[in-house]
Amino acid sequence: KAIEQKPKDVEAYYNLGSAYFDKGVFDSAITAFDKTIQINPEYRPAYSLLGIAYTKVGKYDDAIQILKKRIEFDPDLAIAHSNLGIVYSMKGMDKEALTAYNKALEIDPGHAINAFQTAVMSDPNNVEIYNDLGTAYKAKGMEKDAEGYFSIYKKKTKKGK
């Protein structure tokens, strides 16, 4: 209804996209977020959810493009880098994923831990993530957790040789 009254209302389209996103109706969310960005290309939050929505429907190249745009707006936004890392990981682009995760780690070690844990769940055979997770825990001063992940990394790298 808000869109009918104000067809150029960025917030209305963003809220509509968010509602679709929350319900798991990602194609409709993508349409609403696209419209949000058409109206106001500087509306940053739409890029984050649009990138995730593209990921949910398997449009990884679109997700990468949108998340990179989000990072252009806010290069120090750790979650944008970790979201990009997740998409790269899902696409099998391990080197690029690690670069993105490491950037998130550099910006915010606490957030990077969550991103690395998500990456481990989505790709448990990517041994480098265990090393990065250990590094993230070490940066937070959580030595015991760091040692555990470094140990897993060492075991997995020995097994692979």
pLDDT number for residue 161: 43
pLDDT number for residue 139: 74
As given in the structure block, the two tokens for residue 129 are: 């993530």
pLDDT number for residue 77: 92
pLDDT number for residue 4: 66
Contacts of 73 (CB under 8 A, 6+ apart): 42, 44, 47
Residue indicated by tokens 């880098």: 81
pLDDT number for residue 159: 58
Please give the single-letter amino acid code of residue 33: F
Is residue 133 within 8 Å of 117, Cβ to Cβ? yes
Per-10-residue mean pLDDT, the chain, length 161: 70 93 95 96 94 94 98 93 87 86 84 74 75 78 86 79 43
Residue-wise burial string across 55-80, b where 16 or more C-beta atoms lie within 10 A, e elsewhere? beeebbebbbebbebbbeeeeebbbb
Tell me which residue of 92, 78, 67, 74 sits closest to 139, measured CA to CA: 78
Tally the residues of the chain. 161
For the entire predicted model, the pTM comes to 0.73
pLDDT number for residue 7: 67
